[in-house]
A and B are shown apart, each in its own frame.
Chain A
Amino acid sequence: MSLELNAITKSFGALIANDGINLAVNDGEIHAILGENGAGKSTLMNIVYGLLQPDSGEIKVDGKVVTINEPSDALAVGIGMVHQHFMLIPVFTVLENIVLGHENTSKVGKLKLHEARERLMKIANEFGFEIDPDAYVENLPVGVQQRVEILKALVYEAKVLILDEPTAVLTPQETDELIEVMKRLRAQGTSIIFISHKLREVKAVADRITVIRRGKVVATAQPSASQEELAALMVGRPVNLMPDKNPPKVGAPILVVKDLEILDPSGRALVSDVDFEVCAGEVLAIAGVQGNGQSELAEAMVNLQSHVRGSITVGGVEIVGKSVHESLHEGIAFVPESRELNGLIGSFSIAENLILDTHREAPYTKGFALSPKAVAIRGEEQAKEFDIRYQSIQDPVSSLSGGNKQKVVVARELSRPVKLVVASQPTRGLDVGSIEFVHERILAERDAGRAVLLFSTELDEVVALADRIAVMYAGKILAIVDATVSREELGLLMAGVKK
């Protein structure tokens, strides 16, 4: 099935998010869309899927103009979408999630799952998905949940599948599997619109690439183009994909972690026997496949974990047992792993989010009173410094594009005087230009004599920033190696293989 978008325009107030966009997706092609944060990619996709209404423009399916007012209209003409944030009900099984909204019931109202199950299994077989229809969604890894979303679209006969940043939350292995799935879908004749900031992936699967900048289509490219060329097309200037690093000037140890053990509420160890030091002026990256205890370790640095044994000192001061506020006050900047869950308050303004952890301090607070003016002034300064694209600093942060939200978190944390920077996945969802910027900022913190503890599942990022790399596996630090280590060796370590 082919999809054609003609002159789609959509504005939010004074901001034109989509400005006369033309796009054609051919039958059985993987069409990648590249663009900076806030370029208007998600907006365009939400229009195609009926979540937003365009101000003008038309959508054609197989040459015929269609009106899409709601997602159900989109599904009816064969357009399916997988959101970055899954729309699944965790306590339902895979099958229940798939029939949700299309339930077939007997006369007395009993759910008839039998037909749905057959249909699901048939389609799963056809596309080579391995899935247990009776597994509860909450027990499935993220990658498999995503496959459930894709299956859901396929069961309702989607012929065009929209994937908006599907790989942002996946591990490298899961990403590879998704790429295989996409290739299989293409072979069966499904067209895919694929949005990603990871140029490597785009080059690996796309048949054609459309580049959007500030709401306009600025170029089309072939996947054979180099990453540097693609990056430059997106951002409109040459981008340094590998930051220049000065040799480290390593000082005294700032962060010292000894015999650290983190337990879950039932007393099971999530992290154990962790010992390491990070010195002033160096970046220690904690690498590893997601779910090996990194998230818990990162949270323990500011006492967000409640069952911790052992010792964590920052600049000689013991952190374990302090409140979160006191830990931050000891001079720690903390970029949490999930901006949606822990980094931002969606309904708060951009300005308010920029002072979330410093709101008690002058000039924002005087006595009891909070000064909205001081907050706004500070917000505008920071937004400018970090190139956050917004309309009004008083808009809710939830109106920002994904990447700009991440910049709000990074801006807040990296503009406080601290001794230690703890950053988890600091560039998740950022475009290449912003990644370059955040990487430069992190290295600048290092060069200014701060200790940096980086948690990242992106090998590229780890290699680009780290002076030393600690690999975590099954809750323990398997090895601490020099940043010059080969990718192969790192990969083996991450899989738990120690030479």
Chain B
Amino acid sequence: MKKVWERIAGSALLPFLSFLLAFFISGFFIAFSDANVLKTVGHPGKFITTALSTVGNAYLALFQGSIFDPNLTAGHGFMRGFYPLSETIVTATPLILTGLAVALAFQSGLFNIGAQGQFIFGAIGASYVGFHFTFSPVLHVALALIAGVVCAALYGGLVGLLKARTGAHEVIVTIMLNYIAGFFILWILKTTTFLRPRRIDPIAPDVKPSAQLPHLAGADFRLHAGILIALVAAYFVWWILNRTTIGFQFRAVGANASAARTAGISVSRVTISTMALCGALAGLGGAVHVLGSQYALTADIGGSFGFDAITVALLGRAKPFGTVLAALLFGALRTGGRTMQSNTTTPLDIVLVIQALIVLFIASPTLVRFIFKVKNLKTNAAMTAKGWNG
């Protein structure tokens, strides 16, 4: 048991230190981009206190906007204070699934830049089944989810097929397919099948209540069952990778493709199935996003879930549970950032700075090691050079 804990602590150390550093440095950005702080530059004493209070307020707002806000409890009871946490989880849910889509690909040695497109296809499939058909509640949700997953799995599998058959690089193919998905959704929302009656802006009808994911904490909170689906998916990815034959093959191809081939593992089959599975995960994200919180398909349904997924997977060290934590962190930064922007003078963009810095430090373990003087920082095998000598 102790060993397991040591392993977790060992692999969480780098992200944790990067996190601290990123907040520390972002503090300077907050202070030096603030008009009030800059006014006091001439008076060192005043300067320091204003700077500290500005940074403190910004981070406090970030916390209140993402986890717990005592101001909300007035008149609504203590639990209402957790409304921001519910929002954090709602934002993180699709991100967990797209993050898993990228992480799984990393484990097979593939760079899935296409989670965005796969997410969009998942959203389209789920939305169509959700608003067009009528079924009994549980069945309807299940069918809508399946429709999203299948659409996106095909879209992702196409990448694998192209790579396996023609050698086309998955990064190029997925980037192109992201554009295609982006324009496809614009077009499909103009067709009579999808366009909401009596509307001209691109928006589809709401999915029927029978296809909506149930709320988990009552009608006051947007928290929905999608998070449970995402957690199950994370466990599923872990199980696939570590406890199944196909996962063994995924990891083998990811770690040393030519040794895997020599041992009789079909690299092209692994490539196709990985990409299909990644598509399915990202598509599940899209489906959950539509059925759980958006209800209506819009042209910008994808947001940046598919792109942030790359960062999230990187931060989560391409491990399923790491990805969950990273996605929750990103969800918190995003929702908290909005509160920070409205309650303080610090702009939302600082959140991007924080995110970028975290990734920067994760990607340069030598720097973090140097700053904190820690010796054996674990770096990520999936993402650093694969060389090893004997």
Contacts and interface: CB of A to CB of B under 8 A. Distances in A.
Question: Does A associate with B in a complex?
Answer: yes
B109 to A, nearest CB: 11
Contacts of B263: 324, 328, 356-357
A85 B258 contact: no
A368 B245 contact: yes
B262 A336 contact: yes
A449 interface: no
A127 B243 CA distance: 57
A370 B244 CA distance: 5
Interface in A302-359: 302, 304, 323-325, 327-329, 334, 336, 339-348, 352, 356-357, 359
A402 interface: yes
Interface in B255-272: 255-256, 258-266
Interface in B231-279: 242-249, 251-252, 255-256, 258-266
B45 interface: no
Given A345-B255, A345-B256, A339 B245 contact: no
Given A359-B248, A365-B245, A370-B244, A340 B265 contact: no
Contact of B262 (A304, A329, A401, A402): A304
A325 B265 contact: yes
Given A356-B252, A364-B245, A401-B390, 11 more contacts: A83-B389, A328-B263, A340-B388, A342-B262, A343-B259, A348-B252, A356-B263, A357-B263, A359-B249, A370-B244, A402-B390
20 contacts: A304-B261, A324-B261, A325-B264, A328-B263, A328-B264, A334-B262, A336-B262, A340-B390, A343-B259, A343-B262, A345-B255, A345-B260, A352-B248, A356-B252, A359-B245, A359-B249, A360-B245, A365-B245, A368-B246, A370-B245
Contact residues of B: prevailing secondary structure = helix
B256 A346 contact: yes
B265 to A, nearest CB: 7
Contacts of B259: 341-345, 356
Contacts of A342: 258-259, 261-262
B255 A346 contact: yes
A345 B252 contact: yes
Given A346-B388, A402-B390, A370 B248 contact: yes
A191 B118 CA distance: 61
A391 B242 CA distance: 22
A356 B253 CA distance: 11
Q: Report the 6 A-B pairs with minimum CB-CB distance, sorted nearest first.
A: A325-B264, A346-B388, A85-B389, A356-B263, A357-B263, A342-B262
A405 interface: yes
Contacts of A405: 390
Contacts of A325: 264-266
B370 to A, nearest CB: 13
A115 B46 CA distance: 56
Given A304-B261, A323-B264, A352-B248, A85 B243 contact: no
A344 B262 CA distance: 9
Interface in B180-207: none
Contact of A340 (B246, B247, B260, B389): B389
Given A345-B256, A368-B246, A370-B243, A324 B389 contact: no
B139 interface: no
Contacts of A359: 245, 248-249
A339 B244 contact: no
B228 interface: no
A341 B263 CA distance: 12
B8 interface: no
Given A347-B255, A348-B255, A356-B252, A339 B264 contact: no
B383 to A, nearest CB: 12
Interface of B: 242-249, 251-252, 255-256, 258-266, 381, 386, 388-390
Interface string A79-100: 0000111000000000000000
Given A340-B388, A340-B389, A369 B255 contact: no
B246 A324 contact: no
A359 B245 CA distance: 7
Contacts of A352: 248
A382 interface: no
Interface string A358-385: 0110001100111010000000000000
Contacts of A84: 389-390
Contacts of A356: 252, 259-260, 263
A323 B266 contact: yes
Contacts of B389: 83-85, 340
Given A83-B389, A85-B389, A341-B258, A347 B381 contact: yes
Contact of B390 (A339, A348, A357): A339
B335 to A, nearest CB: 37
A382 to B, nearest CB: 15
A6 interface: no
A17 to B, nearest CB: 15
Contacts of A328: 263-264
Contacts of A360: 245
Contacts of A368: 244-246
A334 B261 CA distance: 12
A83 B381 CA distance: 22
Chain B CB within 10 Å, residue with most, of A85, A370, A372: A370
A372 B252 contact: no
Nearest to A165: B390
A11 interface: no
Interface string A469-489: 000000000000000000000
Contacts of B255: 345-348
B382 to A, nearest CB: 9
A347 B256 CA distance: 9
Nearest to B246: A368
Chain A CB within 10 Å, residue with most, of B243, B255, B259, B260: B259
A405 B389 CA distance: 11
Interface string A291-307: 00000000000101000
A11 B369 CA distance: 22
Nearest to B387: A85
Interface string A15-56: 000000000000000000000000000000000000000000
A429 B260 CA distance: 22
Chain A CB within 10 Å, residue with most, of B266, B388, B389, B390: B390
Nearest to B239: A369
Interface string A271-298: 0000000000000000000000000000
A301 to B, nearest CB: 12
A324 B260 CA distance: 10
B242 to A, nearest CB: 8
A324 B388 contact: no
Contacts of B262: 302, 304, 324, 334, 336, 342-343
A398 interface: yes
B264 A370 contact: no
Nearest to A361: B245
A369 B247 CA distance: 9
A368 B244 CA distance: 5
A344 B258 CA distance: 9
B251 A398 contact: no
A287 B386 CA distance: 33
A346 B256 CA distance: 8
Nearest to A87: B389
Chain A CB within 10 Å, residue with most, of B244, B245, B260, B266: B245
